[in-house]
């Protein structure tokens, strides 16, 4: 029988190993989790980077003169040695009733978290990989130290030697840590490579520039929708659990199917063509009445109609089936792509290469069609085909095959259920009917008479249009309602329909309280 006092001193090697394995699990899991959060959030790399940034000049000199170009591996070896020593100590100090070793791991976690959140551009989420990793590390430390000191109860008569049990557990944990770490490191390197590739992209110089934005296109109402949507607040909708990572040198667009001449474009081939720049408002078909799944950006890209002319579209082709690098597909009517509108293969958004989440390096932008039938991100394949032959991703799941954007209008100010003082009240919002254009917006209160809103200057038929309306608000609870009319003269329908299968309809309304 083993006495409690004896337990705490037994098997120092196994305990040290338990500590080291636990730290390995923490680091491996941290590495893997950092892939989801961001390349600078890996605890190991973050601590390494902070060490590099904070080390005095003489230390760097010493590292470079001693290790030359191997200074980075040398740093990693040095860090690993320190971590192994501390982790072994943690293993030796862990007690069933005194989790001193766990506390040491937690302290290492604090170091990792402070390093990760101090990296440039980091937010609090950078702490997550370390926190998750250390939490799992502590679990492993508890399990392994327990296994190191307590013989397992005999199972079905046979005795299960505790050494074997320990080795099995430790081996499994090491394999897990190594797998997670290697997977994370590989994915992290891939992401870092693509981000570096993106930083190196220079924007094409454009002769055919977007029209300047007229003064007043942005209504100066606090809480109103800005005419241009910055990349970081632009809505993002896609089926990608992990953002595809594709470098410009890997990118190809294969154009095939019902064409006279197949063509495979590289990034350089694309860049040799003549670009255009346009402001275009994108909208998601899933946007419900009053929803925010719409955004307006200035895009630089290459005309789709010119590329289609180059390959020679056969007369029987009526669909462009585009496929993204992750297999997502979109079907777009060839007629729409060739009717003169500014459909493009975009490479830039708001003066920057496309953000990874918005399709880097190349995506489609087609004015007037919902994103699911037009806006393929990370696009790598174009097949000219027919609507009676092929079905795209969302059409197979019950959505329409064709889906022009429906006229919509939205109240942005005042906020839903806002309380406002009686008197002069500015109501503001946006309206869109891409490729038809907005002719009028009207507002009414409590289902009374419609009043014409003041429209901001029109930019183009392919962008949304902001509006304001002033009301002498009287006390009480009121319902504001808005409707738009497009330049074809069609008034937005009041009929409420869900986004499925081809876009929501109905008037947006907002209830507010006016204080006396
Ligand atoms: N590869 C790919 N492209 C895609 C999608 C997708 O799921 N995968 N979603 C589409 C949909 S439904 C919309 S609304 C737009 C959204 O583009 P954004 O995320 O840049 O706003 O992308 C389109 N392109
Ligand atoms: Mo969408």
Judge contact between 443 and 469, C-beta under 8 A.
Answer: yes
* Pocket (CB within 6 angstroms of ligand 1): 234-240, 282, 284, 324, 326, 328, 358, 371-372, 375-378
pLDDT score at 71: 81
Tell me which fold the domain 231-397 belongs to: Sulfite Oxidase; Chain A, domain 2 (3.90.420)
* Ranges of each domain in the chain: 8-192, 231-397, 408-515
Flag residues of the chain having pLDDT under 50: 1-8, 157-158
Q: How many CB atoms lie within 10 A of CB 468?
A: 19
- Compute the half-sphere exposure of residue 498: CA atoms within 13 Å on the CB side of its CA: 4
Q: May I ask the CATH class of domain 408-515?
A: mainly beta
Atom of ligand 1 nearest to the CA of 324: 1
Pocket test for ligand 1, best of 328, 377, 399 (most atoms within 8 A of CB): 377
pLDDT score at 9: 52
Write the pLDDT tens digit of every residue in 119-163: 877 889 999 999 999 999 999 999 999 888 765 555 554 455 678
pTM above 0.85, yes or no: no
Q: Which helix (H) or strand (E) holds 144?
A: helix 128-149
CA angle, 228 as apex, 293 and 348 as ends, to 5°? 90
pLDDT score at 159: 52
pLDDT score at 2: 41
pLDDT score at 192: 87
The protein residue with its alpha carbon nearest to ligand 1, atom 4, reads: 376
Angle, in degrees to the nearest 10, between helices 71-93 and 100-117: 150
Q: Which helix (H) or strand (E) holds 300?
A: strand 294-303
* Nearest Cα to Cα of residue 21 among 185, 177, 181: 177
pLDDT score at 16: 94
């Amino acid at each position: 029988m083993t006495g409690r006092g004896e337990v705490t001193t037994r098997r120092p090697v196994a305990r040290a190993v338990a500590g080291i394995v636990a730290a390995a699990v923490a680091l491996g899991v941290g590495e893997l989790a950092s892939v989801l959060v961001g390349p600078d959030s890996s605890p190991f790399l973050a601590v390494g980077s902070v060490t590099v940034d904070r080390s005095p000049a003489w230390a760097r000199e010493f590292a470079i003169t001693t290790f030359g170009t191997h200074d980075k591996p040398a740093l990693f070896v040095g860090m690993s040695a320190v971590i192994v020593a501390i982790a072994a100590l943690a293993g030796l100090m862990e007690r069933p009733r005194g989790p001193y070793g766990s506390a040491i791991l937690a302290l290492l976690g604090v170091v990792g978290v402070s390093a990760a959140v101090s990296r440039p551009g980091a937010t609090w989420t950078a702490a997550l990989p370390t926190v998750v990793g250390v939490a799992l590390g502590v679990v492993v430390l508890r399990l392994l130290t327990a296994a190191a000191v307590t013989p397992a109860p005999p199972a079905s008569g046979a005795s299960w030697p505790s050494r074997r049990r320990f080795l099995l557990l430790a081996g499994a944990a090491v394999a897990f840590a190594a797998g997670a770490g290697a997977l994370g490191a590989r994915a992290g390197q891939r992401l870092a490579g693509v981000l570096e590739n993106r930083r190196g992209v220079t924007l094409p110089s454009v002769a055919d520039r977007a029209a300047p934005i007229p003064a007043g296109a942005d209504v100066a109402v606090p809480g109103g929708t800005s005419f241009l949507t910055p990349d970081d607040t632009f809505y993002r909708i896609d089926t990608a659990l992990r953002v595809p990572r594709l470098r410009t040198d890997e990118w190809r667009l294969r154009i095939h199917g019902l064409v006279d001449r197949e063509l495979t474009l590289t990034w350089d081939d694309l860049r040799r063509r003549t670009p255009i720049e346009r402001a275009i408002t994108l909208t998601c078909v899933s946007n419900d009445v009053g929803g925010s799944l719409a955004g307006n950006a200035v895009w630089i890209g290459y005309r789709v109609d010119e590329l289609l002319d180059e390959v020679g579209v056969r007369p029987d082709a009526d669909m462009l089936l585009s496929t993204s690098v992750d297999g997502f597909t979109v079907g777009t009517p060839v007629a729409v792509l060739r009717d003169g509108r500014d459909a493009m293969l975009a490479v830039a958004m708001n003066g920057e290469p496309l953000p990874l989440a918005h399709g880097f390096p190349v995506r489609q932008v087609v004015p007037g069609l919902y994103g699911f039938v037009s806006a393929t991100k990370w696009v790598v394949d174009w097949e000219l085909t027919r609507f009676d032959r092929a079905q795209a991703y969302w059409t197979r799941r019950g959505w329409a095959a064709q889906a022009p954007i429906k006229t919509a209008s939205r109240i942005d100010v005042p906020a839903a259920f806002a309380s406002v003082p009686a008197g002069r009240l500015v109501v503001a919002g946006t309206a869109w009917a891409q490729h038809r254009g907005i002719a009028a917006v009207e507002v009414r209160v409590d289902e009374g008479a419609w009043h014409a809103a003041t429209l901001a200057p029109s930019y183009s038929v392919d962008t949304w249009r902001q509006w304001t309306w002033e009301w002498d608000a009287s006390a009480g609870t009121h319902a504001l309602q808005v409707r738009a009319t497009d330049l074809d003269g069609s008034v937005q329908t009041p009929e409420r329909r869900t986004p499925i299968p081809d876009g929501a309809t109905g008037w947006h309304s907002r209830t507010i309280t006016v204080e006396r």
